[in-house]
Amino acid sequence: MSATGKKLAGKVAIVTGASKGIGAAIAKHLADEGAAVVVNYSTSKEGADRVVSEIAGNGGKAVAVQANVAKQADIVRLFSEAKKAFGRLDILVNNAGIYEFAPLESVTRESFYKLFDLNVLGLILATQEAVKHFDPAGGSIINISSVAATLAPPTTSVYSATKAAVDAVTRSLSKELGPRKIRVNSINPGMVETEGVHSAGIADSDFRRQTEAATPLGRIGQPKDIAPAAVFLASSDSGWMTGETLYISGGMR
């Protein structure tokens, strides 16, 4: 396929939290379709560099930029580095996020703000900055939410609340930014097998087995199950879609 035949040829994307897991898969898929990609990471430079070199090895364009999107100064720097590297911005994937599960009695003010500052405030501030950099043709913002936004399992009160907030932000901003040709949609994955799931000890757990038993398609997801939807939402194929929450969860709701 020629470069011009690719769905995202000439486009520039920032993917937050893209050093591993779903973010890395999205960054690679966007690059495969011709986008130049800014691979954002907070702490894992090694992971981000690996994603960049994989994209370059496949003939794509990417740079890694460190920024903690819970901090406004870091967000401003991320976008200015993106502009410096590639000259424009068309796509923002708000993927950076954390999850912590805790029973009610273990919820603390600190844990509440830790999750909301990154999962909700960071997403809003990154979107605020992106809007300044899109040109009059508009752009596409893709928020990575979660099936937890509506499923809200036990011990996830704070995490589920952050993702329900992300879905509300998606709907509200789609209406606010629509007149500026900026589309805002969210992807709500079910459980996906990522490095984070392995390090949390969930990959081989009763929780995983219970999840698979409750999932109509009978398995948890892989990052590559999620990434093509981000390409779709970033491209003109979804040009008349905004304010949507797209569940990719094997049928689990």
Q: What is the CATH number of the domain that holds 49?
A: 3.40.50.720
Token digits of residue 90: 């068309």
* 2 falls within a domain: no
CA-nearest of 187, 83, 74 to 134 is 83
* 26 falls within a domain: yes
Whole-model pTM?
0.96
End-to-end CA distance of the chain: 37
CB 41 within 8 Å of CB 94: no
Is the pLDDT at 143 greater than 50? The verdict is: yes
| C-alpha separations of 173 from 127, 132, 160, 164 in Å | 9, 14, 20, 14
pLDDT of 195: 86
pLDDT tens for each residue of 115-136: 999 999 999 999 999 999 999 9
Strands 139-144 and 182-189: parallel
pLDDT tens for each residue of 183-213: 999 999 999 999 888 887 888 888 889 999 9
pLDDT of 3: 53
Q: Would you name the residues annotated as active-site residues?
A: 159
Round to whole Å and give the CA distance between 79 and 14: 8
* 3 falls within a domain: no
Domain count within the chain: 1
CB 23 within 8 Å of CB 16: yes
- Boundaries of domain holding 116: 8-248
Round to whole Å and give the CA distance between 145 and 188: 5
Radius of gyration of the chain (CA): 17
Is the pLDDT at 149 greater than 50? The verdict is: yes
